[in-house]
Structure 1
Amino acid sequence: MTLLPLSHADPRRALVLFSGGQDSTVCLAWALQHFSQVETLGFDYGQRHRIELDCRQTVRQALVQRFPAWGARLGEDHLLDLSLLSQISACALTEERAIEMQANGLPNTFVPGRNLLFLTFAATLAYRRGAQVLVGGMCETDYSGYPDCRDNTLKALQVALSLGLDQPVCLQTPLMFLTKADTWDLSTQLGGEALNDLIVAHTHTCYLGERGRRHDWGHGCGTCPACELRARGHAEWRARQALQSA
């Protein structure tokens, strides 16, 4: 992936779906590198823990402190209340229940329609804020099989949003075809070890909301699917680095 120098920034305004997790933080850094004005948007949808929401402001502040050039581009943060979603989507991310596979082949961490709703509300906010680009951390390479993370889904939604708002809506998904190891590579290209250290120290992706233990790859329980995926990607990335330096 080619990174544009700061001096060649896209003049369009971007709105980043920012949860406070690793993937959305890398996407925020990517947007700050590519666009001249960037705002962030989070969602409180009644998730079973609020750890990521609590991390959001810490991550934003750390990015501003460690990367002043990006900080000059970082605008307002928005948090929308979508708690209604938890009332109609009983799953392991909105209720205290064990994480397991379902008969349809999807894990019960799948929140039906979540990304479709997130992007629809994001497009509504972007319309008011004058932003033309929505940036999300959806990925169909290393993921749990969620159908609303697939490239075809998002391409169709981009068309629907553009038609429904009667103006172009551009959905950017920088991680769509990257593995988790590739995501660490992208983070390194964007901000080097400073950004990687920020991600490990301040972001949170664990499904169970465990924050106490810090691993090489960040905080988390270490056993849920999100932690296992993140740990495996970090190990693959470290092994790749070792081969390159040998």
Structure 2
Amino acid sequence: MVEREVQRLTVKAVILLSGGLDSSTVLYQAKVDGCDCYAISFDYQQRHRRELESAAAIAQVAGATQHQVVSFDLRLWGGSALTDDSIAVPSDRSLVEMASYIPVTYVPARNTIFLSFALAYAEAIEAERVYIGVNSLDYSGYPDCRPDYIQAMQEVFRLGTKQGREGQPIQIVSPLIELKKTEIIQLGDRLGVPWEKTWSCYTGEAVACGICDSCRLRLAAFSELGQVDPLPYKAQLS
């Protein structure tokens, strides 16, 4: 009886896990929050599918209860440098340039797709939360990483599920949304995130390029903190 009561008091959570710096930090945060963590990653035929290896490694070392990989093909219509080889991944852009417009690495409606899968998974396993590592402050400007978007999706979670209509809606938790990249790294340091197992590069090669937007943002943040990123890179931040 006591064991069953403890199990009922544990918060079950689905964690969107790409294997990158942000989502890995979120998984570790969910563990600290006392959650029973069910990680979900997506093989959508992205250029940088190398990130899935990191997602698997992070899920294992963090002690996720389960790690699901959902496969589908967003190359069917492309529309992004991450899903269409005819669109080049931007490189050697300054942080100011990154902040000027939504980049071609934006994948149309990606977080809406991801959150829909996570919601279905969460309701099926009777989870109370879905964690996502969106961040609205540092340069990318993706429309599906902003607070108003998360608020709107929270309403979808309430209206679009049996659990939302008849009980307590599944909660979207976005602990990084108002943090700078340096603050995310500091949080991850405190949580013990193994940065050497994470992956951020967009180019899809075996070694991180060091010059795509994602690499430059990551390297700049480590540099600002006076730290060395443990990942090897083909090129270093200039």
Structure 1 unmatched runs, 5+: 1-9, 64-70, 213-219, 240-246
Write the mapping of 1:222-233 to structure 2, written as runs, cut at 5 A: 222-233=210-221
Question: Which secondary structure does the structure 2 equivalent of 1:175 belong to?
Answer: coil
Distance in 2, Cα, partners of 1:127 & 1:91: 30
Q: Which amino acid aligns with 1:230?
A: R
Distance in 1, Cα, partners of 2:204 & 2:31: 27
Instruction: Work out whether 1:62 is the aligned partner of 2:58.
Output: no
Write the mapping of 1:12-91 to structure 2, written as runs, cut at 5 A: 12-63=11-62, 71=63, 74-83=64-73, 85-91=74-80
Write the mapping of 1:3-14 to structure 2, written as runs, cut at 5 A: 11-14=10-13
TM-score (norm 1): 0.78
Question: Which secondary structure does the structure 1 equivalent of 2:123 belong to?
Answer: helix
Match of 2:102 among 101, 106, 111: 106
- Go from structure 1 to structure 2 and tell me whether the alpha carbon gap of 1:123 and 1:29 turns closer, same or farther (over 3 Å shift): same
Distance in 2, Cα, partners of 1:143 & 1:18: 21
Distance in 2, Cα, partners of 1:137 & 1:55: 15
Contact 1:136–1:171 at 8 Å: present in 2 too? yes
Contact 2:80–2:106 at 8 Å: present in 1 too? yes
Once superposed, what is the RMSD of the aligned Cα atoms?
2.0
> What percentage of residue pairs aligned between the two structures are identical?
35
Instruction: Work out whether 1:237 is the aligned partner of 2:233.
Output: no
Match of 1:211 among 192, 206, 226: 206
Contact 2:14–2:129 at 8 Å: present in 1 too? yes
User: Which stretch of structure 1 is more off in the superposition, 111-120 or 45-54?
Assistant: 45-54
1:88 deviation in Å?
A: 2.1
Name which structure has the greater RCO, CA cutoff 8 Å, separation 6+. Answer: 2
Question: Which secondary structure does the structure 2 equivalent of 1:131 belong to?
Answer: coil
Query: Structure 1, residues 64-123: CA drift from partner, whole Å, max 9, x if none?
Result: xxxxxxx3xx2111111121x22123210012231349xx93211110100011001110
The corresponding residue for 2:126 is 130
Contact 2:181–2:221 at 8 Å: present in 1 too? yes
The corresponding residue for 2:154 is 158
Distance in 2, Cα, partners of 1:92 & 1:150: 21
TM-score (norm 2): 0.81
Q: Which amino acid aligns with 1:87?
A: L
Number of paired residues?
206
Q: Which amino acid aligns with 1:28?
A: L
Contact 1:50–1:209 at 8 Å: present in 2 too? yes
More helix by share: 1
Question: Which secondary structure does the structure 2 equivalent of 1:153 belong to?
Answer: helix
1:138 deviation in Å?
A: 0.4
Distance in 2, Cα, partners of 1:40 & 1:188: 21
